[in-house]
Amino acid sequence: MKNLFFAILISHSAMAQSWEAVGSGSLVELYTSEGCSSCPPADAWLSGLRNRPELWKDFVPVAFHVDYWDGLGWPDKFAVPAYTQRQRTYASLWKTSTIFTPAIIIQGENRGAVAQISRAKESLKATWDANVLVVTGTPSKGAVVNVAWLAMEVFTDVKRGENAGSKLRHDFIVLKHQVLGAHEESKKWPLTIPTKTPAPVKALVVWLEVNQRPVVAAGGYLKSAANSP
């Protein structure tokens, strides 16, 4: 019984860790799939962002794995239908019906090869403590709060499909994306770290959207030893 008590206590402490992020980051979204032969170079480009000093403050990378390649030989375990729908929403905003991978979208705009990422014009501060998220800053009117839990440094040995025989590395993988609701200064949002994910949660990012386009983002690694990068 005593050992069970300590196990519960340790588990509760890990779940209730604190986190803080401040920045004027542009949201950098990569739409990718393990079943797409053109995606590994884009995945490598995104992974390279983890070594840049502007990470989290000037730009916030996220990788949305889509599911429309899953029926062609290799189902991507990180793919989520809602991420495909998010990409389709962008296509609708751009007045096109075409979606593809890899696709790099920065602040809601379609981008190809990216040499430089500009900072957002607004600022954001987010704190997460005792499973409560508070977002403050200078957001545009009508902003909506989004959060994503990320995995880092994940390797996959692909057995079938276009990338058969390849060992793929992924960073900034979106394990879970949540739209919390309309931004209210200092509102307390209940937020718990997801469990039973296909890879360990390593980072948390927060961004604000207006009319379905990101306006500012911030993020960072979780501080517990179990979730350090």
Q: Give residue 31's identity as a one-letter amino acid code.
A: Y
Rounded Cα distance between 222 and 229, Å, is 8
Q: Give the model confidence (pLDDT) of 32-91 as tens digits.
A: 999 999 999 999 999 999 999 999 999 999 999 999 999 999 999 999 999 999 999 999
CA 100 to mean position of chain CA atoms: 19
How remote is the C-alpha of 226 from its chain's centroid? 19
Q: What percent of the chain has pLDDT over 70?
A: 87
How far apart are alpha carbons 15 and 10 in whole angstroms? 9
pLDDT of residue 139: 67
pLDDT of residue 8: 42
Residue 117 CB neighbour total at 10 angstroms: 21
Query: Per residue in 111-164, pLDDT tens?
Result: 765 556 888 889 999 999 999 999 998 767 899 999 999 999 999 999 999 999
Name residues whose C-beta falls within 8 Å of residue 185's C-beta, 6 or more positions apart in sequence.
Answer: 136
**Nearest residue to 167 via CA among 44, 57, 46, 59:** 44
> Token pair 């480009």 is at which residue?
45
Provide the pLDDT for residue 115. Answer: 55
What is the chain's mean pLDDT, rounded? 89
pLDDT of residue 11: 43
Contact residues for 180 (Cβ-Cβ < 8 A; gap 6+): 133, 144, 145, 146, 147, 189, 191
The confidence score (pLDDT) of residue 16 equals: 55
Under the banding of pLDDT at 50, 70 and 90, the label for residue 185 is confident
Residue 204 vs residues 69, 113, 150: alpha-carbon distances, Å: 27, 26, 6
pLDDT at residue 32, rounded to an integer? 98
Q: State residue 13's pLDDT score.
A: 43
**Higher-confidence residue: 13 or 175?**
175
Tokens of 62: 């996220």
Structural contact between residues 127 and 186, judged by C-beta atoms closer than 8 angstroms: no
The larger pLDDT score, comparing residue 175 to residue 17, is at 175
Which strand (E) or helix (H) includes residue 104? strand 103-106
228 pLDDT band, cuts 50/70/90, is very low
Residues across the chain:
229
